[in-house]
Amino acid sequence: MCRNEVSPSAIVSIIRSGFWLYGVSILNNLFGFVYWFAISRIGGAQLLGLTSATVSLASMVSSILSLGIPTGLMRFLGIERGRREGLARYLWSSAIFLSSIYLSTSLALLVLSMLGVSVANFSPSMFRAASILVALSSSSAFTTYLISTLRTRTLFLSVLIGNLLKLGIGIEAVYLGLGWFGAVLGYASIGAVNLCIGLYMAVKTLGVRVVLDPKAILRVLKAGLTVWIPSIIAIVGQWLSVLFVFGVKGATETGYYYLAFTITGLAVGIATSMTTLLIPILSGMKRGRGYVSYTVMRLGLAIVSPIVFALLTYPHIPLELLGPEYVAASNTLRILLLSSFATIVLSTISNYMYSLALYRHVTSAGILQTTTRLLLYIALVREYSGLGVAIAYSVGTYVGLGYAIVMAKRLSVDIDYRRIATIAILPGLPSVLAYTLNLCWLLGLPIIASTYLIYMKLRLITRKDLQLLAYAILSRERVYTLYTKMKPLIDLLIPE
């Protein structure tokens, strides 16, 4: 992907504007891991499995019902920026329409639970708990408003408060004997806080002028549906992996798989957050999309790859934190981690094609990916449980990547695959050494981490890359002061 005269300041502004959004993803992953650690210590793997299955069901239902409205709303809020009347019309119309969908579906799930309906291993009480989470999904319109108006710091604080409440409420509820239902109540805290803070900010900045404009809703739906199909395919494929294990093997196996799934998300969260932001950012650019996409892909892989190989070598370290029984998920974690490289590259190429309005190609990649996963889920889950689902999930990711690479070549998208592969594979060398010699993790992890220095020595990561990251986090004056003090060390470690 060529540079196309993109100024360094443009990339700095992109990274800086998304910094708080990266923080939101990191917060959710970190607090999620701490939360699962705490409740599993109290209630065991079965409680973790029941909770994760309920959350997965609610997440999948909410994603399907969104109809792409948050994405479409983001576009029109950007167009109407600075015009209070237009912002109010699109936000309130979308929020009312979306909330009516979520609340009616929540009521339907509640009625099913009251009628005693159960499906596979999903009990009436699980439908009742899922109905709470679906209702709170109404916060998505207000979350979109915070992002579109660049109030991402407010969103970060909202998520932080929600996660702290989740820990307090959820752990206390489980400890008091409410079991997995108490854990789900804790999980609902994030949606409740996001809804309250988002609604407060909307009322504060736009006033209490609730508007329902059918034309605005139709415009948002038209814009959203173009990206809803490929997005929902990917999301459904993701959450179905958890639901398949629960439906066939039960709560304990689901707990093992979901834990491995969560750790994988935590490991690659920084890179996937960066690539996710490419959709709105690239869509607003007239040139330089390729250079920005390639830079984000390369930096994301460079940050994540050593972490992935460290976990591949020592998967028991995070698993044992929750108890010896969870070490049984080591191979499942390894398989899921192997899909992370494909996930980063695939999401980058897909979002690049989004920015060019090539929706058909993105949809095709998503269909291939999810169809492969579903077929393999059916074939492997009964025999191999969570490990089989992990294999299916990873194979589907690489199938989608294969299609995306073919389309990228047809579109003459210039990607240095050799450099990308080197960045992804290089940490594997010290990882294999540590594994072969059976080195203690206290010695093995620093050896694998030394890959970051090798990246710089081989110019896979340049001074300019580090400069861009530094400018995004610190002021230019602060960066200059630090550079002046550390110049001898930087000259030694990083070639000009």
Residues contacting 187, CB < 8 A, separation 6+: 35, 51, 55, 133, 166, 170
What is the model's pLDDT at position 124?
82
Domain range summary for the chain, segments of one domain joined by +:
20-224, 250-482
What is the model's pLDDT at position 4?
46
Amino acid of residue 187: Y
Q: What are the pLDDT digits (tens) for 65-98?
A: 888 888 778 777 767 767 778 888 888 888 899 9
**Mean pLDDT on 424-430:** 93
Q: How far is CA 101 from CA 61, 171, 195, 257, 300, in A?
A: 11, 31, 16, 31, 36
Q: What are the pLDDT digits (tens) for 291-300?
A: 778 888 888 8
432 vs 46, residue with greater confidence: 432
What is the model's pLDDT at position 249?
52
Note if the pTM is more than 0.75. no
Residue 14 pLDDT greater than 70, yes or no:
no
Residue 289 pLDDT greater than 50, yes or no:
yes
Any long-range contacts for 5-13 (C-beta under 8 Å, 24+ apart)? 5/287, 5/288, 6/287, 6/288, 6/291, 6/292, 8/464, 8/467, 8/468, 10/288, 10/292, 11/292, 11/295, 11/468, 12/468, 12/471, 12/472
Q: What are the pLDDT digits (tens) for 386-403?
A: 788 889 889 998 998 998
Tell me the DSSP string of 409-424.
HHTT----HHHHHHHH
- The whole-angstrom separation of Cα 59 and Cα 55 is 6
What is the model's pLDDT at position 431?
93
**Mean pLDDT on 416-440:** 91
SS3 string, 363-384, reads HHHHHHHHHHHHHHHHHHHHHH
Q: What are the pLDDT digits (tens) for 188-230?
A: 888 899 999 998 998 888 877 667 788 888 988 877 776 676 5
Largest CA distance in the chain: 72
- The whole-angstrom separation of Cα 257 and Cα 253 is 6
What is the model's pLDDT at position 1?
45
Phi and psi at 250, nearest 5°, equal 100, -175
1 vs 371, residue with greater confidence: 371
Residue 64 pLDDT greater than 50, yes or no:
yes
Residue 472 pLDDT greater than 70, yes or no:
no
Give percent of the chain above pLDDT 90: 17
In the numeric block, which tokens belong to residue 300? 């994301």
Residue 115 pLDDT greater than 60, yes or no:
yes
Residue 404 pLDDT greater than 50, yes or no:
yes
Pick from 55, 34, 50, 52: nearest CA to 322: 34
Q: Which of 1-5, 269-273, 356-360 has the lowest mean pLDDT?
A: 1-5
Residues contacting 359, CB < 8 A, separation 6+: 226, 227, 229, 230
For residue 495, name the pLDDT band (cuts at 50, 70, 90): low
Mean pLDDT, the chain, as a whole number? 80
Tokens 């009322």 -> residue? 203
What is the model's pLDDT at position 2?
46
Residues contacting 146, CB < 8 A, separation 6+: 152, 154, 155, 158, 198, 201
What is the model's pLDDT at position 273?
73
Residue 173 pLDDT greater than 60, yes or no:
yes
Q: How far is CA 362 from CA 80, 226, 354, 355, 475, in A?
A: 28, 10, 7, 11, 38
127 vs 306, residue with greater confidence: 306
Cα 162 to its chain centre, rounded Å, is 17
What is the model's pLDDT at position 409?
83
What is the model's pLDDT at position 28?
80
Bridge partners of 227? none
Q: What are the pLDDT digits (tens) for 39-54?
A: 777 777 677 777 877 8
